[in-house]
Structures are given as C-alpha cells and as structure tokens.
Amino acid sequence: MSKNGHKRRLRPTHKALALVGALVLGGGGVVIVTQQASAGQDSARSAPVTATIDCPDVGDTLRDVPEQARSEVDDNLAQLDAQVADAYAKLASGRARADALLAGLKEQRGATIGRLTDALGRASVRPEGLAALGTCTMKQAPAADPADDPAAAAAAAADAGSAGGNAPDVAARKGGAGSGGPARSDFVAINTVRPNVRTPAPSSRASTGSLTVNCGRNENRHLNPDNVIVAPGVGNGAHHMHDYVGNKTTDAFSTNNSLAAAGTTCTNGDQSTYYWPVLRLRDGRAEQDAKAPGGGQDANVGTILKPKQVTTEFKGSPADKVTAMPRFLRIITGDAKAFTNGTANANASWSCTGFENRQLKDKYPVCPKGSDVVRTFSFQSCWDGRNTDSANHRTHVAFAGNNGACPAGFKAIPQLVQRIVYGVPAGARFAVDSFPEQLHKPVTDHGDFINVMSDALMANAVRCINGARACR
C-alpha cells in the first residue's frame, strides 16, 4: 500500500530464464576462501566461464529521500531491478549481443534514473551525479558443471540434440543453460577451513542476557518474492522467494498498521516479521513456483528446502547496556547484490553443525556425514536513536566495532541473531535464491527484519538482556 493508500503493483516484464552460474571471489568479511578445497574439484582457471551484468546500485547511494518522493523513488528503483533482470534473461538465452544489450540497458536506466532524479528534485534539492550510474558492464566468472545440476544438464542435452552437438560442450559454450548455478568453486569442505570466530571480551557494562523467540520454521509455507522494506508496494520486488516467520501477513503491500493488526507464528505474541531467501536443492525438480515470478521466471529453480531448525535470539552488547528498539524499526543484514556490489555490506555466514567456529561468507559449506548446513544472520546492533529506516535502508543502523562498542552517535540495541539449519542430502548441490544476475552466489545471502514487538514485549527483552537473564 502506498503512502496515499493506493496499491502500487509493478509486474515483472522479463521472461523465464536460467543460466548455470558462477563465482567471483570476494574480499573482507568473516573469511574469504580462495583455494579449491574439495577432492575432485577442477581448477577455476581451466573451467568454462559465464557472464553476468554488473550495474551500479542506485539505491545504495541514496542518503536522503523526502517522504513525499519516497513512493516514486521506490517504484523507479524497482524498475531498475526489473530492467537488469530482463537484460540478463536476454544475455543468458543468447537473444542479444552483449554490446547491443548494454547499450539498450544504458538507455533504459538513463530514463528511469532521470525520473527518479526529477522526483527528488521536486521534493528537495535535485541530486547530482546519479546519471553516471546508468552504465553497466559485463562480469565474468566460472560456469557451473552441468553434471552438478540436473536442470542444466537436461537443458544442455536438449540443445545438443537440436544442434547435433555434445551436451557438456554446448553448456560450456552457452555458459551453462537451465538453472543459474552454482559452480563447483562455490563450495568448500568445511573441515578444511580454519577456525575464525572471535568474540570480544565483555566490559564491566556488558549486557549478557538474551531473549529467545520461538516463531517456528515457516511450517505454514508463507512464501513470496516481495520485499516490503526495499520495494514497498511492488510485487516481485525481490526477484527471489522469501521464507517468512513471525507476522502472518507480510507482503509487498504491508503497512505498519497492517503488520500491527496481524497474527503471528511466534509463541510469545511477537508480531515482528523475519524473512530470508529460501534455500533450494539443485535437483532439477519443478517446485510450485517453477513458472512464477521470483521462482523459475527469475532463474530460481529446484526444490525449496524447509528449515530443519530456526533459532531467533536477541542478544546484548559486550560493551554496554542496550536500549529498546523503536516499533517498526527496519533492518537488513547482508547484501542481495554483493556479487556485483562487492562485499562491503555482505554479512550472512555459512557453516555446518559441529563446525560453527568456522564461518564462511563467499562459499557454501560441504558438510561431513551427520552434519547439517547452517546459515547465520547477525544483525546490526547499533541504532542512531532517531530513525526507523533510512533512504538506503542501512545508515540508520550500524555494526559494533571489534571491541563491541557502537560508533559515535549510535546506541546499543538488542542484537537479532538468527540461526537456520537445513538437512541437505549427502553430496547434493544447493543454492540460495537471488536476483537472477547475481548467479546464486553465497555472498549474496541476507536477512530482513521489521520490529513489530509491542512496547511491553520490547521492554521485557531489554530487562532480560541488561539483567543477564536468559529469557524465553
């Protein structure tokens, strides 16, 4: 629902696409693994490569969007995402030459950025420099081996049959066809990774308690490809499917009022909304969204894995007492576009049960027998004390420093930490849902949260955390 009460719905214009994806090795974060660590993996240098589209993230550059311009700005940012997805579909299918595709995309983006700039100019001061963000480039990475991906292998075999060629050769020439990845180099055996988790020593003012909230594992299959934080009022604003727990009604058109009136899956009455991209087996099977936006139309294919366990916990600060979060505070941790944006905002991490002192950011873990895959989202724990959101959805919150203290001007709040466990069959490939051009890279994983706790529930959380109690 838009600010004036009218529904806004942008329908995706792009066709179904699929491309076996690849990996670029990032920098920074928990740990970046660059070696091939699993037996039998091919060298990335000798593997076939694929290409994707790298466009500047306009939304991330915004620092001030007046309320009267926000609806129009949100719509135009969503259009930019849809344009990249459409261009990537054409690239993946071979329907356009790269130079012509980039030229057309630049023209589309220029017009959209112009409308966005005009909207900001009417509401305040016209921003400078946004026009330069219209130019996109091509980005290369290792392609997936079709043998690792039944959907890719089937598509390659069909191409080979019609072209009289060999399926793996055809897949290599086309960058892999069918599913969007991942590449073998996206995986690393967890037992080859060195322990890398460090915990700051608590100060005398540390808040060492916790509140655990039981909101289930999305047993009611609340799934949609919306993102009400980044693209409010825009259907399929995420271009990938999300799992939801907590608030039962969250979608693109949710408002503070609708969230506050909704039911919840949380046993303590917490109406907050917690959501993250689904994890899928790359098994070639048709999921219920195989032909739908956010699913097969956006290169997200395969069986959606139901979490085996979801732990939602609010923790304290090693440096200070915490203060209450404001109701309707919005926080995003990680970056859904980190493959092309770089790893500055990447934050989600991957591990295996029994090995959680070893956390990965840009690799999926290969877990030994009897061990499960674990995703962890540690949200920002510092708040500016004023805003429940910001233009780029980042600058109103911050991460604590290495010593656990918040930056100047920020105060400690309860830190949301989510741990999601999956029982992945031995030897199976899997991937997180993503924007299609992000190629299902593990570094693009992210989590979203809107605090809809009542004031009484939040006050109880603060008392538990500051009082060194473990509450449920």
DSSP at 16: P
Closest CA to 296 of 443, 155, 94, 141: 155
- CA–CA separation, 199 and 30 (whole Å): 12
pLDDT in tens, 437-450: 999 999 999 999 99
Is the confidence at residue 225, as pLDDT, over 50? yes
- Quick one: three-class SS letters along the chain? CCCCCCCCCCCCCCCCCCECCCCCCCCCCCCCCCCCCCCCCCCCCCCCEEEEEECCCHHHHCCCCCHHHHHHHHHHHHHHHHHHHHHHHHHHHCCCCHHHHHHHHHHHHHHHHHHHHHHHHHHCCCCCCHHHHHCCEEEEEECCCHHHCHHHHHHHHHHHHHHCCCHHHHHHHCCCECCCCCCHHHEEEHHHCCCCCCCCCCCCCCCCCEEEECCCCCCCCCEECCCCCCCCCCCCCCCCCEEEEEECCCCCCCCHHHHHHCCECCCCCCCCEEEEECEEECCCCCCCCCCCCCCHHHCCCCEECCCCEEEEEEECCCCCCCCCCCCCCEEEEECCCHHHHCCCCCCCEEEECCCCCCCECCCEEECCCCCCEEEEEECCCEECCCCCCCCCCCCCEECCCCCCCCCCCCEECCEEEEEEEECCCCCCCEEECCCHHHCCCHHHCEEEEECCCCHHHHHHHHHHHHCCCEEC
In percent, the amount of the chain with pLDDT more than 70 equals: 83
DSSP at 287: -
Residue 181 has a pLDDT of: 73
Is the confidence at residue 33, as pLDDT, over 50? no
Residue 154 has a pLDDT of: 57
Alpha helices in 227-354 (DSSP H): 256-261, 338-341
Closest CA to 232 of 23, 450, 461, 54: 450
pLDDT in tens, 113-140: 999 999 999 998 899 999 999 999 999 8
- CA–CA separation, 81 and 105 (whole Å): 11
Closest CA to 380 of 338, 349, 417: 417
Is the confidence at residue 3, as pLDDT, over 90? no
Residue 412 has a pLDDT of: 98
Beta-bridge partner residues of 139? 52
Residue 93 has a pLDDT of: 85
Is the confidence at residue 144, as pLDDT, over 80? no
pLDDT in tens, 311-327: 999 999 999 999 999 99
Mean local confidence (pLDDT), 415-425? 97
Mean local confidence (pLDDT), 53-67? 95
Mean local confidence (pLDDT), 40-45? 40
Beta-bridge partner residues of 275? 244, 448
Strands 373-378 and 415-422: antiparallel
- CA–CA separation, 97 and 74 (whole Å): 30
Q: What token pair was written down for 303? A: 């069986």
Residue 151 has a pLDDT of: 57
Q: Which residues contact 209 (CB under 8 A, 6 or more apart)?
A: 316, 464, 465, 466, 467, 468, 469, 470, 471
Residue 125 has a pLDDT of: 84
**DSSP state string for 155-167:** HHHHHHHHHTS-H
Residues 148 and 178: beta-carbon distance below 8 Å: no
Residue 128 has a pLDDT of: 92
- Residue 115 or 20, more confident: 115
Residue 385 has a pLDDT of: 98
- Mean per-residue pLDDT over the chain, rounded: 86
Mean local confidence (pLDDT), 230-244? 98
Among 72-86, 91-105, 225-239, name the one with the lowest average pLDDT.
91-105
Among 24-38, 49-63, 261-275, name the one with the lowest average pLDDT.
24-38
Hey, where are the domains in the chain?
49-144+179-471, 145-178
Is the confidence at residue 363, as pLDDT, over 80? yes
Distances (CA, A) of 419 to 67, 309, 360, 422: 35, 8, 14, 10
Among 19-33, 136-150, 193-207, name the one with the lowest average pLDDT.
19-33
Residues 447 and 27: beta-carbon distance below 8 Å: no
Closest CA to 178 of 302, 281, 279: 302
Is the confidence at residue 16, as pLDDT, over 80? no
Residue 401 has a pLDDT of: 95
Is the confidence at residue 462, as pLDDT, over 80? yes
Residue 209 has a pLDDT of: 98
Question: What pTM does this model have?
Answer: 0.86
Is the confidence at residue 61, as pLDDT, over 90? yes
Is the confidence at residue 45, as pLDDT, over 90? no
- Residue 43 or 305, more confident: 305
Q: What token pair was written down for 284? A: 């070639």
Is the confidence at residue 30, as pLDDT, over 90? no
Residue 173 has a pLDDT of: 35
Is the confidence at residue 176, as pLDDT, over 60? no
pLDDT in tens, 325-359: 999 999 999 999 999 999 999 999 999 999 999 99
Among 196-205, 272-281, 371-380, name the one with the lowest average pLDDT.
196-205
- CA–CA separation, 456 and 462 (whole Å): 10
Question: Band of the pLDDT at 153, cuts 50, 70, 90?
Answer: low
Q: What token pair was written down for 65? A: 């969007």
Residues 120 and 126: beta-carbon distance below 8 Å: yes
Residues 420 and 310: beta-carbon distance below 8 Å: yes
Q: What token pair was written down for 330? A: 């919005």
**DSSP state string for 193-239:** SPP----PPP-TT----EEEE---S-TT--EES--TTTSTT-TTSSS
